[in-house]
Structure 1
Amino acid sequence: MSKRSETALNIGHDSFITIKKQNYIPMEKIIKSFFEIKTLSITAIIGLILVISGCNKDFENVLPKSFRNDTLGLGDGSKKVLYIIMDGVKGSVVESLAPTNITEITQKAIYSYDGLADFQYNQLTNAAAWTTMLTGVDYTKHQVSNENFSGLNLQATPTIFTRIKESLGNVRSVSIAASAGFNDNLAVDASMKQTLTDDAAVKAAVVDELSTNNPSLVVAQFHSAEDAGATAGYTTATPSYTTAIQNIDGYIGEILKALKARKTYATENWLVVIASNKGGGTSGGAGGSNIYDDLSRNTFLAFYNPKFVVTPISQPDIDNLPYVGTAPRFASNASVSPKALLSSNTNIGNFGVSGNFTMMFKMKDDLGAASGFPPFIAKQVTFGSGAGWNYFRGSNNVQLSFSGASTLQGAAVMNDSKWHTYAITITTSGGTRTTVFYIDGVSRSSTNIGVTNRDNTAPLRIGADMGKNTSFMVKDLAIFNVAMTPAEVIKNMRIQLRPSNPFFSNLLGYWPFDETSGTVAADVSGKGNNMTYSGPVQFIPFSEISPNISPEISSAAYTAVPNGVDIPVLIYNWLNIAVPSQWGLMGKFYNPTVTLPKN
Structure 2
Amino acid sequence: MLPHLGLVGLFAGLLVVSCQQEFDKTIPDTANNDSVNVTYGQPKVLYVVVDGMRGQSVQNLAPPHITSLLNHAIYSWVSLGDAETAKPGANWASLFTGVSKTKHGVLDNDFSNNHFDIYPLIYKRIKALDSAMNIQVFTTSQVFKDHLTDDTDASELLANDEAVKSAVKTALGDENAGFITAHFSNPNAVGASVGYDETKPAYKEAVLAFDNELGEMLEALEARPTYNQENWLVVVTSSIGGSYPITNDDNTVFSNPVANTFTIFSAARYRTRYISKPFVGNRLRGDFVQFQGQRRAILEPDAEGTDNNALYDLDSSAFTIELKIKKNKRIKNIYPCVLGKRPEWSSGWPSNGWVIFLENDFWQFNARGTGDGNQVKGGVLADASWSSVAVVGVIRDGERYIRTFTNGAFNNETNIQGWGNLNADAPLSIGYIQGQGHGEGDVYVADIRIWKAALPDDVIAQYACETTIDENHPYYSYLAGYWPVAGDTDGIIRDEGPFGSHLTMTSDDFSYNEINDYLCAPTTEDLGQSVPRSFDVPTQIFTWLKIARQESWQLDGRTWLDQ
TM-score range, shorter chain: 0.5 to 0.7
Q: CA deviation at 1:132?
A: 0.4
Mapped to 2, the partners of 1:242 and 1:560 lie a distance apart of 28
Structure 2 residue aligned with 1:165, among 115, 121, 127? 127
Mapped to 2, the partners of 1:222 and 1:87 lie a distance apart of 6
* Residues 202 and 525 of structure 1: CA distance in aligned 2, closer, same or farther (over 3 Å): farther
* Residues 280 and 526 of structure 1: CA distance in aligned 2, closer, same or farther (over 3 Å): farther
Asked if the contact 1:475–1:511 (Cα under 8 Å) also holds between the matched residues in 2, the reply is no
Structure 2 residue aligned with 1:423, among 275, 278, 289? 289
Q: TM-score, normalised by structure 2?
A: 0.60
Asked if the contact 2:134–2:176 (Cα under 8 Å) also holds between the matched residues in 1, the reply is yes
Unaligned runs of 5+ in 2: 1-19, 313-320, 340-355, 358-363, 369-374, 376-430, 442-449, 468-515
- Name the counterpart of 1:83: 47
Letter in 1 for 2:184: F
* Residues 280 and 580 of structure 1: CA distance in aligned 2, closer, same or farther (over 3 Å): same
Letter in 2 for 1:496: K
Asked if the contact 1:115–1:299 (Cα under 8 Å) also holds between the matched residues in 2, the reply is yes
* Residues 85 and 62 of structure 1: CA distance in aligned 2, closer, same or farther (over 3 Å): closer
Asked if the contact 1:420–1:548 (Cα under 8 Å) also holds between the matched residues in 2, the reply is no
Letter in 1 for 2:538: P
- Name the counterpart of 2:105: 143
Q: 261-270 or 128-137, which moves further after superposition? A: 261-270
Letter in 2 for 1:144: V
Task: Compare relative contact order (CA 8 Å, sep 6+) and give the higher one, 1 or 2.
Answer: 1
- State the SS of the aligned residue for 1:103: helix
Q: CA deviation at 1:94?
A: 0.7
Structure 2 residue aligned with 1:584, among 546, 554, 557? 554
* Residues 529 and 99 of structure 1: CA distance in aligned 2, closer, same or farther (over 3 Å): closer
Asked if the contact 2:465–2:519 (Cα under 8 Å) also holds between the matched residues in 1, the reply is no
Asked if the contact 2:46–2:233 (Cα under 8 Å) also holds between the matched residues in 1, the reply is yes
Structure 1 residue aligned with 2:274, among 293, 299, 312? 312
Mapped to 1, the partners of 2:131 and 2:94 lie a distance apart of 24
Mapped to 1, the partners of 2:434 and 2:122 lie a distance apart of 42
Letter in 2 for 1:591: L
* Residues 564 and 589 of structure 1: CA distance in aligned 2, closer, same or farther (over 3 Å): same
- Name the counterpart of 2:76: 112
- CA-to-partner distance for each residue in 1:367-406, whole Å, 9 max, x for gaps? xxxxxxxxxxxxxxxxxxxxxxxxxxxxxxxxxxxxxxxx
Q: CA deviation at 1:150?
A: 2.4
In the alignment, structure 1 residue 245 sits paired with structure 2 residue 211: no
- Name the counterpart of 1:132: 94
Asked if the contact 1:522–1:529 (Cα under 8 Å) also holds between the matched residues in 2, the reply is no
Mapped to 1, the partners of 2:288 and 2:271 lie a distance apart of 48
- State the SS of the aligned residue for 1:518: strand
- Name the counterpart of 1:565: 535
In the alignment, structure 1 residue 291 sits paired with structure 2 residue 253: yes
Mapped to 1, the partners of 2:439 and 2:33 lie a distance apart of 68
In the alignment, structure 1 residue 496 sits paired with structure 2 residue 327: yes
- Name the counterpart of 2:464: 543
- State the SS of the aligned residue for 1:318: coil
- Name the counterpart of 1:33: 26
In the alignment, structure 1 residue 463 sits paired with structure 2 residue 299: yes
* Residues 280 and 59 of structure 1: CA distance in aligned 2, closer, same or farther (over 3 Å): farther
* Residues 510 and 231 of structure 1: CA distance in aligned 2, closer, same or farther (over 3 Å): farther
Mapped to 1, the partners of 2:291 and 2:326 lie a distance apart of 17
Identity percentage of aligned residues: 27
Mapped to 2, the partners of 1:212 and 1:158 lie a distance apart of 27
- CA-to-partner distance for each residue in 1:262-282, whole Å, 9 max, x for gaps? 111121110000111111128
Q: CA deviation at 1:526?
A: 10
Mapped to 2, the partners of 1:34 and 1:280 lie a distance apart of 50
- State the SS of the aligned residue for 1:169: coil
Letter in 2 for 1:86: V
* Residues 581 and 543 of structure 1: CA distance in aligned 2, closer, same or farther (over 3 Å): same
In the alignment, structure 1 residue 516 sits paired with structure 2 residue 365: yes
1:387-536 equivalence runs, <5 A? 422-423=288-289, 460-465=296-301, 467=306, 495-498=326-329, 500-501=330-331, 511=338, 513-514=356-357, 515-518=364-367, 528=438
Mapped to 1, the partners of 2:365 and 2:35 lie a distance apart of 58
* Residues 530 and 226 of structure 1: CA distance in aligned 2, closer, same or farther (over 3 Å): closer
Q: CA deviation at 1:34?
A: 6.3
* Residues 100 and 162 of structure 1: CA distance in aligned 2, closer, same or farther (over 3 Å): same
- Name the counterpart of 2:3: none
* Residues 574 and 142 of structure 1: CA distance in aligned 2, closer, same or farther (over 3 Å): same
Letter in 2 for 1:518: A
Q: CA deviation at 1:61?
A: 2.9
Mapped to 2, the partners of 1:63 and 1:158 lie a distance apart of 25
- State the SS of the aligned residue for 1:564: coil
Q: CA deviation at 1:179?
A: 1.0
- Name the counterpart of 1:221: 183
- State the SS of the aligned residue for 1:577: coil
Mapped to 1, the partners of 2:434 and 2:99 lie a distance apart of 31
* Residues 248 and 28 of structure 1: CA distance in aligned 2, closer, same or farther (over 3 Å): farther
Paired positions, count: 381
Letter in 2 for 1:568: P
Letter in 1 for 2:207: I
- Name the counterpart of 1:442: none
Give the CA RMSD over aligned residues: 4.1
Unaligned runs of 5+ in 1: 1-26, 36-48, 322-417, 427-457, 477-493, 594-599
- Name the counterpart of 2:416: none
Asked if the contact 2:164–2:184 (Cα under 8 Å) also holds between the matched residues in 1, the reply is yes
Letter in 1 for 2:464: S
Q: CA deviation at 1:157?
A: 0.9
Q: CA deviation at 1:64?
A: 7.7
Q: CA deviation at 1:524?
A: 13
In the alignment, structure 1 residue 61 sits paired with structure 2 residue 34: yes
- State the SS of the aligned residue for 2:464: strand
Structure 1 residue aligned with 2:57, among 66, 69, 93? 93
- Name the counterpart of 1:373: none
Asked if the contact 2:280–2:521 (Cα under 8 Å) also holds between the matched residues in 1, the reply is no
- CA-to-partner distance for each residue in 1:225-284, whole Å, 9 max, x for gaps? 111111111011211211111011101110010001111112111000011111112899
Asked if the contact 2:197–2:244 (Cα under 8 Å) also holds between the matched residues in 1, the reply is no
- State the SS of the aligned residue for 1:237: coil
Q: CA deviation at 1:548?
A: 4.6
Mapped to 2, the partners of 1:527 and 1:282 lie a distance apart of 40
Mapped to 2, the partners of 1:460 and 1:114 lie a distance apart of 40
- Name the counterpart of 2:162: 200
Q: CA deviation at 1:28?
A: 12
In the alignment, structure 1 residue 553 sits paired with structure 2 residue 522: yes
Letter in 2 for 1:569: T
- CA-to-partner distance for each residue in 1:336-382, whole Å, 9 max, x for gaps? xxxxxxxxxxxxxxxxxxxxxxxxxxxxxxxxxxxxxxxxxxxxxxx
* Residues 508 and 574 of structure 1: CA distance in aligned 2, closer, same or farther (over 3 Å): closer
- State the SS of the aligned residue for 1:544: coil
Mapped to 1, the partners of 2:435 and 2:112 lie a distance apart of 31
Asked if the contact 2:59–2:77 (Cα under 8 Å) also holds between the matched residues in 1, the reply is yes
Letter in 2 for 1:92: Q
Letter in 2 for 1:297: A
Q: CA deviation at 1:212?
A: 2.7
Mapped to 2, the partners of 1:61 and 1:509 lie a distance apart of 60
- CA-to-partner distance for each residue in 1:82-116, whole Å, 9 max, x for gaps? 00011111111111000001011111100111111
Mapped to 2, the partners of 1:246 and 1:548 lie a distance apart of 36
Structure 2 residue aligned with 1:280, among 233, 242, 253? 242
Mapped to 1, the partners of 2:434 and 2:182 lie a distance apart of 46
- Name the counterpart of 2:150: 188
Letter in 2 for 1:183: K
Mapped to 1, the partners of 2:517 and 2:88 lie a distance apart of 35
- CA-to-partner distance for each residue in 1:554-588, whole Å, 9 max, x for gaps? 32322111111111111111111121111001111
Letter in 2 for 1:61: D
